[in-house]
Amino acid sequence: MLAVQQVRARLMEPQPPRVLISSPSDAATSLLCSMLDGFDVSAVSTVEELEQTLHSAKPSDPPLDCVILDHQAEATADGIARLLESINSPVLKDTKLIHLYTPVTDAILTNPVFANNTSDIIRMTKPPRKARLLQALAKLRNLPPETYADLRSTTNSTVEEPPESQRTLFGNVLIAEGECASDCRLELVSWTAV
């Protein structure tokens, strides 16, 4: 836990990172906000709102360090990365993207290299863990590797996910989201082991 606090303290210098979360899930947004307590965090719930927020960045706004995109589609993440590159704004010049996704069997079968094919994207499987998230932010902020090296012992994996072709599927998990049983969205996803 000390390593997590030390990395968090380094990330707060010279000012807290500015992070924009895009997630359709209130629970996921709440979890991420809790993990990033003390950072300058804002959130939107749709990809359209995210795009509008990025387009409306003013030159007087503080720089946006990172967008955390909680969306299943790799193409959506790639599109947001391209949008960040195309908007000519000093606020977004160094903005990076963390893509949170749930690995599923179809992704492995149809796209075995669901990997970091864009240097400004870190793909991270859900659920996110605080140590991994802070490690990703430290890497994106170009902190020296020794700054966050101790976090590797607090988490089971490094920031970048191993290639999907190296994962072994061995079960199913049923995920339900919604405020009550009548509007729950059920999704059957594959459980993976690395």
Neighbour count for residue 77 (Cβ, 10 Å): 22
Q: Per-residue pLDDT for 157 more than 60?
A: no
The lowest-confidence range among 21-25, 49-53, 99-103, 140-144 is 140-144
Alpha-carbon span 50 to 161, nearest angstrom: 25
Q: Give the Å distances, CA to CA, from 76 to 47, 88, 110, 176.
A: 8, 20, 16, 22
User: In this structure, which long-range contacts are made by residues 188-193, counting pairs with CB atoms below 8 Å and at least 24 apart in sequence?
Assistant: 189/102, 189/103, 189/104, 190/103, 190/104, 190/105, 192/103, 192/125, 192/167, 192/168, 193/167, 193/168, 193/169
pLDDT at 11: 87
pLDDT at 110: 44
Paired tokens of 83: 């949008």
pLDDT at 36: 92
Q: Per-residue pLDDT for 8 more than 80?
A: yes
Which carries the bigger pLDDT value, residue 160 or residue 142?
142
Let me know the angle formed at the C-alpha of 13 by 8 and 97, rounded to the nearest 5 degrees: 65
Binned at pLDDT 50, 70 and 90, residue 119 comes out as: low
Mean pLDDT of the chain: 76
Cβ contact 47:22 at 8 Å? yes
Domains contained in the chain, CATH given: 2-165 (3.40.50.2300)
**23-32 confidence digits (pLDDT tens):** 999 999 999 9
Binned at pLDDT 50, 70 and 90, residue 135 comes out as: confident
Q: Closest Cα partner for 71 from 48, 37, 105?
A: 48
Binned at pLDDT 50, 70 and 90, residue 162 comes out as: very low
Cβ contact 57:64 at 8 Å? yes
Q: Per-residue pLDDT for 109 more than 70?
A: no
The percentage of the chain sitting over the pLDDT mark of 90, rounded to a whole number, equals: 32
Q: Per-residue pLDDT for 115 more than 70?
A: no
Q: Closest Cα partner for 127 from 96, 156, 92?
A: 156
**73-92 confidence digits (pLDDT tens):** 888 999 999 999 999 889 99
Backbone angles phi, psi at 44, to 5 degrees: -130, 160
